[in-house]
Amino acid sequence: MRFVQRQPDDSVNLPKSHPLRNAAELVLGVGALVLVASLLVTYFVDIAVAVIPYEAEAEFSSRLFRDSTMGLGAPGDQSSALEQLTARLSSGWPDNPYSFRVRIADMPKPNAFALPGGLIVVTQGLLDACESENELAFVLAHEIAHYRNRDQLRGMGSALLLQMALSMVGAAGDISPLSSPMQLAQLGSSREREEAADRFGLSLVAAHYGHINGSWAFFEHLTDEGDATPAFFSTHPGSAGRAQALRRIAAQNGWSTTGTLRPWPMEQRAAGDGVVD
């Protein structure tokens, strides 16, 4: 028998289905994995948050978030005034288990965020940007609302579990293709938390002042200076949309949108732009 050499069939190792179908199946598979992982993270974090005592949260915070190691300014007249305003606002939350502390970070970009245990951090840039006490009061009330829903624990817990999950995937290969989709999957729930915090925070402002005038001024400043971040890719609603949402909440609850604005010390003002976390 004579052997006749032939070229190998180039299609032997190729899938029988169309390449576009293969790509679609891969995308759907990754999407399903991301969805399941996100749901599991949310489920376990919600369970943990429900059983963690407030005392344990405060102890954890005192060990992890120290003013000196975080570069926060020492307590002074400004932080004392902020704590007093926070205490007045939080009186509208009768079941409040926290003893709030407010510290100022020497950062030019206006921002504020809540850390576990009752520590609220406000940047100097935010204080400089506020034109009235009422404007600043809503920022603080928004952060108080995060504590009511224990969002600060949910956020940290979700980030920790996602990091662990991505590290496990990374042991088998490159985790970067999964990282961004998994983070995007968390954005919707984060935006929902921000909207809930806006709603409760606005109720605290209304209870304290008898009106909510000035509450949306901070976001109008941002809109005037340009707010180009697409809402889908942000954990916070856009500034213009956020100001409009506050007005809708006020109308739904019958809260007055007119009233006297209390001054904020002029020496603390300057220009700036930023977000409220």
Task: Return the pLDDT at 59.
Answer: 81
Better pLDDT: 83 or 163:
83
Q: Are strands 119-123 and 112-115 parallel, antiparallel or unpaired?
A: antiparallel
For residues 252 and 4, give the distance between their C-alpha atoms in angstroms, rounded to a whole number. 85
Calculate what percentage of the chain has a pLDDT beyond 70: 57
Q: Is 192 inside a domain boundary? A: yes
144: containing domain = 22-54+131-268
Q: Is 86 inside a domain boundary? A: no
Range from 5-9, 19-23, 132-136 carrying the lowest mean pLDDT: 5-9
Please compute the mean of the pLDDT values over residues 199-213 and round it to a whole number: 96
For residues 197 and 145, give the distance between their C-alpha atoms in angstroms, rounded to a whole number. 5
pLDDT digit string, tens, across residues 116-140: 888 898 988 889 888 899 999 999 9
pLDDT digit string, tens, across residues 85-103: 999 999 999 999 999 989 8
Order the strands of the 119-123 sheet from edge to edge: 101-105, 119-123, 112-115
Q: Is 66 inside a domain boundary? A: no
Q: Is 119 inside a domain boundary? A: no
pLDDT digit string, tens, across residues 61-80: 777 776 655 667 667 778 88
Q: Contact 158/182 with Cβ under 8 angstroms?
A: no
Instruction: Give me the count of residues in the chain.
Output: 277
Distance of CA 210 to the CA centre of its chain: 28
Task: Return the pLDDT at 52.
Answer: 75
Q: Is 96 inside a domain boundary? A: no
